[in-house]
Amino acid sequence: MKTILLMEDNPYDARLIIRLLEILGYRMLHATEANVGLQMAMQERPDLILLDMGLPDLDGQTVAALIKMLPELTDVPVVVVTAWPPDTARQMAEAYGCAGFISKPINVKDFALQVTSFFRDSSGK
């Protein structure tokens, strides 16, 4: 079973994302602040991190930069989940070494497929 860490402070978005991915059998971890999320990431070594760009204690870019600098986590794909315009989201995701981005509001129909495509082996299993 693959583990996904969701760093998202918006309770509505978090609830929806967790529900969509748990149905597909993923083990979901959730943090509403970067500080907690980084600790969880270090302890649990998730297979994928979904990262909201606006967290209450630290912004998403800095979190992405920190993840990429930690040897234990540098290989974990980080996917930005953001309401930013796509061009900005793409540019920031690339600059900060993220695997890609998913736009908010998420498309319920496509979301699981989008997430799966970011796993290292692409099968999502």
Closest CA to 88 of 60, 114, 67: 60
101 binds other proteins, rule: CB under 8 A: no
77 Cβ partners below 8 Å, 6+ apart?
A: 47, 48, 49, 98, 99, 118, 119, 120
Report the C-alpha gap between 92 and 11 in whole angstroms.
24
Other C-beta atoms lying within 10 Å of the C-beta of residue 110? 10
List 39, 43, 91, 117, residue binding other proteins (CB under 8 A): 91
Among 16, 18, 28, 61, which residue sits at the site for other proteins (rule: CB under 8 A)?
61
Count of residues interacting with other proteins (CB under 8 A): 24
Nearer to other proteins, 89 or 115 (CB): 89
| Nearest residue to 63 via CA among 91, 34, 42, 86 | 34
By CB under 8 A, is residue 99 in contact with other proteins?
Answer: no
Per CB under 8 A, the list member of 62, 74, 107, 117 interacting with other proteins is 62
Which residue ranges make up the site for other proteins (CB under 8 A)? Answer: 9-10, 12, 33, 54-59, 61-62, 65-66, 69, 83-85, 88, 91-92, 95-97
